[in-house]
Amino acid sequence: MAEVVRHNCGLTVAHSLHDAYRFIHSLQHRGREAAGIAAVGDGRIDVIKWKGGVSRFDVTDLHKIFLSPNYHTYMAHVRYATRGSKDKILEEAHPHVIGGTVEHRDNHILIWDCDVAAVHNGQVDRAFFQDSASLHLYSSCDTEALLYLYRERGAHNFLKEVPGAYTLAIADKRERDVIAIRDRTGIKPGVLGWKDGKYVMASEDIAFRKNGGEYVEDLEPGAIYSLTPEGNYHKEVVVSTNLAYCFFEWNYITDLDSIINGVSVRRIRESLGEILIE
């Protein structure tokens, strides 16, 4: 049974705190151990992480924390641990960051003015980042190591060198855009959406459809999507695809009403049931 939940995390990128919160709440089935949000502005990234489900922290309280009118993009995450320590739930929760000033509270952590932040769904063999700046790591979570690898090699080399399996979003205060990356295998889902005249991103299209948004396309495996503060996007294909599929996404993790790569999850599960009956 442990294998079933190895990659059970969800992430989203939106242009309002309300949308980020609602989107990630709709992805709660992908992880209930911890949740977190990164607020991104020009030259600034601030982060909050808390234990438990999304609703453990009310969106009105989040608005009181993220007061700056200069935030333009928000990344959110729910986590089910596949790596890391159960004794360090907050430290291991996403977003993972480089830099920043940490404030520990009773049930949450605040990290102000980070240099880089990332939210990630997937799991990567540690062999791909053995040569990264491991001495700087503060957790045993592979996401933090991936973040340092991105910082050292850049997004293009990162995508070329690490084949999978991951879908992730990265905010870098040296850049205005937030980038979303889906590895060349496309094992982990990721979709582009449209909400209130701006492009958004999530692990599943159900996050958009439940909250007044629209599905646009599945993130192309091997591509980098740059989401601008104004709500536009640019796509750059970096590596050719080598598609693979995750049985547990289809049969266990993903919401029954979601669609992956144009295929209904509900229909797949019905078909599997019919096969079992036969």
In a domain, 76, yes or no: yes
Strand order in 34-41's β-sheet? 101-104, 108-112, 44-51, 34-41, 71-79, 10-14, 198-202, 191-195, 214-218
Least confident of 64-68, 135-139, 146-150: 135-139
**CATH assignment at residue 168:** 3.60.20.10
Q: What is the pLDDT of residue 203?
A: 97
Domain that holds residue 234: 2-253
Assess if residue 275 is contained within a domain.
Answer: no
Distances (CA, A) of 166 to 119, 149, 181: 10, 14, 8
Confidence class for position 215, pLDDT limits 50, 70, 90:
very high
Cα–Cα dist 159/156, whole Å: 5
53 vs 277 pLDDT, higher one: 53
Q: Is the pLDDT of residue 132 over 60?
A: no
In a domain, residue 39? The reply is: yes
- Please report whether residue 266 resides in a domain: no
Q: Is the pLDDT of residue 130 over 90?
A: no
What pLDDT, in 10s, does the model give residues 245-256? Answer: 877 787 778 888
pTM of the model: 0.90
In a domain, 270, yes or no: no
Taking Cα atoms as reference points, which of 105, 147, 117 lies closest to residue 47? 117
| 272, part of any domain | no
**Does 259 fall in a domain?**
no
Q: Is residue 264 part of a domain?
A: no
Number of domains observed in the structure of the chain? 1
